[in-house]
Structure 1
Amino acid sequence: MTGIHKRHWPGDKDRPALALHCMMGNSASWGPIAGRLDGRIDLFAFDMPGHGRSGPWTGLPDGTDFHTAITRIAASFIHQPLDLIGHSLGATVALRIAVAAPEAVRSLTLIEPVLFAAAPDADQAARERNLAASLAKGEAEDAARQFIDVWGAQPFGDLPPAVRQTMTDQIHLVSATAETLSRDGARILRKGGLERIDAPVLIVAGADSPPVIHAIAEALASRLPDVGRAVVPDAGHMVSLTHPDQTAGLIALNLDRA
Structure 2
Amino acid sequence: MTGIHKRHWPGDKDRPALALHCMMGSAGYWGPIARRLEGRADLTSFDMPGHGRSGPWVQGAEGPDFHTAVTRIAASFIDRPLDLVGHSLGATVALRIAVAAPEAVRSLTLIEPVLFAAASDVEQKERDRIIAEHLAQGRSEDAARAFIDVWGAQPFDDLPPPARQTMTTQIPLVAAADETLTHDRANILRAGGLEAIDAPVLIIVGERSPTVIHGIADALAERLADVGRATVPGAGHMLPLTHPDETAGLIAVNLDRA
Which range, TM-score by smaller chain? Answer: over 0.9
In structure 2, the residue matched to 1:118 is: 118
Q: Deviations over 1:218-247 (max 9, x none)?
A: 000000000000000000000111000000
In structure 2, the residue matched to 1:15 is: 15
1:101 aligns with 2:104: no
In structure 1, the residue matched to 2:164 is: 164
SS in 1 for 2:252: helix
> Within 5 Å, which residues of 2 pair with 1:30-179?
30-179=30-179
In structure 1, the residue matched to 2:215 is: 215
Q: Deviations over 1:167-224 (max 9, x none)?
A: 0000000000000000000000000000000000000000000000000000000000
Partner AA of 1:139 in structure 2: R
SS in 2 for 1:163: helix
- CA distance in structure 1 between the aligned counterparts of 2:60 and 2:199, rounded to whole angstroms: 33
Following superposition, the deviation at residue 15 of structure 1 comes to 0.3
SS in 2 for 1:205: strand
Identity, % of aligned positions: 76
Partner AA of 1:190 in structure 2: R
- CA distance in structure 2 between the aligned counterparts of 1:107 and 1:51, rounded to whole angstroms: 26
Aligned residues: 258
- Which consecutive unaligned segments of at least 5 residues does structure 1 have? none
- CA distance in structure 1 between the aligned counterparts of 2:162 and 2:148, rounded to whole angstroms: 15
SS in 2 for 1:222: helix
- CA distance in structure 1 between the aligned counterparts of 2:221 and 2:240, rounded to whole angstroms: 20
Q: Deviations over 1:15-53 (max 9, x none)?
A: 000000000000000000000001110000000000000
SS in 1 for 2:223: coil
- CA distance in structure 1 between the aligned counterparts of 2:240 and 2:228, rounded to whole angstroms: 17
Partner AA of 2:44 in structure 1: F
- CA distance in structure 1 between the aligned counterparts of 2:143 and 2:48, rounded to whole angstroms: 20
Q: Deviations over 1:108-157 (max 9, x none)?
A: 00000000000011110110011000000000000000000000000000
- CA distance in structure 1 between the aligned counterparts of 2:43 and 2:62, rounded to whole angstroms: 31
Q: Deviations over 1:69-100 (max 9, x none)?
A: 00000000000000000000000000000000
- CA distance in structure 1 between the aligned counterparts of 2:109 and 2:35, rounded to whole angstroms: 17
- Which consecutive unaligned segments of at least 5 residues does structure 2 have? none
- CA distance in structure 2 between the aligned counterparts of 1:240 and 1:213, rounded to whole angstroms: 15
SS in 2 for 1:12: coil
Following superposition, the deviation at residue 62 of structure 1 comes to 2.1
Following superposition, the deviation at residue 61 of structure 1 comes to 4.8
SS in 2 for 1:171: helix
TM-score w.r.t. length of structure 1: 0.99
Partner AA of 2:100 in structure 1: A
Partner AA of 1:35 in structure 2: R
Partner AA of 1:117 in structure 2: A
